[in-house]
Chain A
Amino acid sequence: MDTREEMKERCLQEIERQDEEAAAAKVKGEEASGEE
């Protein structure tokens, strides 16, 4: 079982991962639509 600190760290990592994923999807979408 995670300690409290591990749980919070995991939470922040997941937030960061989701942000990167959203940013990558946005770039991909812009490439597909021909935007710069």
Chain B
Amino acid sequence: MSKVLGSAPYATVLNQDIYELSSTQKHRLGTRCVRGDRAFRYAKAIASFTRTSTLAYSYYHQDIAYAAIATASVVGDNKIYVTVGAADGIANDGVFAAHSLEGGSLVIFDASANENMYFGILDNNAAVSGGTMTITLDGELPLATVATTYHVEAIGSPYRVGVGNPGGLRYWAGLPMRMATTTNPYFWLQTWGPCWIAPQTSVGASANHGCVVARHDGSLDVQDTSGYSDAQIVGSVMSYSQAGGQGAPIIMLQIAP
């Protein structure tokens, strides 16, 4: 347990310090903590890290692809019921463990009036392909009925992460504060604010080279580097050298404030 100072006029008490690893989960995945200019999210390493010098990526692809509503819900409900697809889930096998979508997000497509709805996910029960999964939302449904003609797309928490090369096909979630392992997988990711991330040689090396993107391996490069012009923008250079070249450089990370 620790107190976080500088985040606000009062102290925030955490069950697990920003620089601490844990074998057990002490906060909900995605729990947000702020210390001065820096923001953090509580995260879980899916595979052991080999470095903390690069960004960590959201480990899984989309969890639920355009699933049909199995049983209707009505206004005020905070639960929806979806039919699990054969290729849904983290292993593409239609299997969902209980609570595996905690901290995720979803969209409900309104089939009647195009009034789509967007929620965070608090929880889910275990389910398999063809079965019905109950998803608990972080709010109450505003429409009279979520009918069986409606559909849902969903992701689990983006803070289930890995370090390495996801081949340019994953979201970069933040910078690990510790070398998490599968034995001690719970840790904090920095998602906003000043930090250092391994820079390629062009980053902040000359005039107007301040916008940085994440490469396939989680290191940083400038946006106009071949192959990375459409890569995820993750921040800006805060520090050039006195001569106008590449400093450290310290980066203003800008993923999730």
Contacts and interface: CB of A to CB of B under 8 A. Distances in A.
B198 A8 contact: yes
A27 interface: no
Contacts of B219: 12, 15
Given A19-B217, A22-B164, A23-B165, A8 B51 contact: no
A12 B165 contact: no
A14 interface: yes
Given A4-B248, A15-B53, A18-B164, 17 more contacts: A8-B199, A11-B198, A12-B198, A12-B200, A12-B219, A15-B51, A15-B54, A15-B218, A16-B217, A18-B50, A18-B51, A19-B164, A19-B165, A19-B216, A19-B217, A22-B165, A23-B165
B243 to A, nearest CB: 13
| Band of interface residues on B | 10 to 19
Interface of A: 4, 8, 11-12, 14-16, 18-19, 22-23
Interface of B: 50-51, 53-54, 164-165, 198-200, 216-219, 248
16 contacts: A4-B248, A8-B198, A8-B199, A11-B53, A12-B198, A12-B219, A15-B53, A15-B54, A15-B198, A15-B219, A18-B50, A18-B51, A19-B164, A19-B216, A19-B217, A22-B165
B245 to A, nearest CB: 10
A24 B218 CA distance: 19
